[in-house]
Amino acid sequence: MSIEAELIPDRGYRCVTHSRTFNTTGQEELLLYDDPGGTRLEYAYTVTVKYRRLRPLYGWLVRRLALRFWERNYVTPLTRHAQCYRTDQATGDRAPAGGR
C-alpha cells in the first residue's frame, strides 16, 4: 500500500492511495467544519478497481467486512466519546470523558 497525503491546516487532509493487492487506487478526503452544534466531519473515499473481474469481489469485501470494521472500531467509539463530552459539558463536569 502506498499513500501520498496532503495535510490541510485547520481543515483535515486529502490523500491518494494505491493497493498492490487488488490493484486499486483511492482518493480519500477528511474535512472538518465548525458547526453550531460542534464540529462537523465530511469524509469521502472513492476507490477505482482496475481489474474488472475483481470489482464484484472487492465491493462485497468492502460492504461485508471493511465498513463494519470501520463502524465498530472508529465510528461507534468516536460517537460514544462525543456523547460523553456533550453530557459533561451540559452538566458542567470538566473531567476528561476518556475511559468511560
Q: Tell me: the pLDDT tens digits for 45-100?
A: 888 988 888 889 888 888 888 888 888 988 888 888 878 887 888 887 655 555 55
Buried residues in 5-25 as b, exposed as e (16+ CB within 10 A): eeeeeeebebeebeeeebebe
Give the model's pLDDT for residue 20: 87
